Amino acid sequence: MELAISLLIIAVTGLVVYAIIKTNPAKPMQLPARPATPYEPALPEGAPALHWSDDGRFLVEVVNESRYQATLKALAGDHGDQAAAAPYLATLVPDDVNPYESAAVAVFLGGRMTGYLSPKASLTFRALLKHKEIDGKITSCEAQVRGGGVWQNGRLSYVVVLDMEPLEK
Distances in Å between the Cα of 83 and the Cα atoms of 61, 66, 79, 148 are 16, 17, 7, 5
- Prediction pTM value: 0.76
Q: What does the domain layout of the chain look like in residue ranges?
A: 51-162
71 φ, ψ to 5°? -65, -45
pLDDT at 32: 64
- Facing residues of 145 across strands? 86, 160
Max Cα-Cα span within the chain: 88
Tell me which CATH code domain 51-162 carries: 3.30.70
- Strands (E) across the chain are located at 51-52, 60-61, 84-95, 104-109, 112-116, 139-147, 150-151, 154-155, 158-162
Instruction: Check residues 41 and 107 and name the one with the higher pLDDT.
Output: 107
- Kindly report, residue by residue over 12-41, the tens digit of the pLDDT: 787 777 767 677 666 666 766 666 677 788
How many residues are there in the chain? 169
Share of the chain above pLDDT 70, in %: 89
The whole-chain average pLDDT of the chain stands at: 89
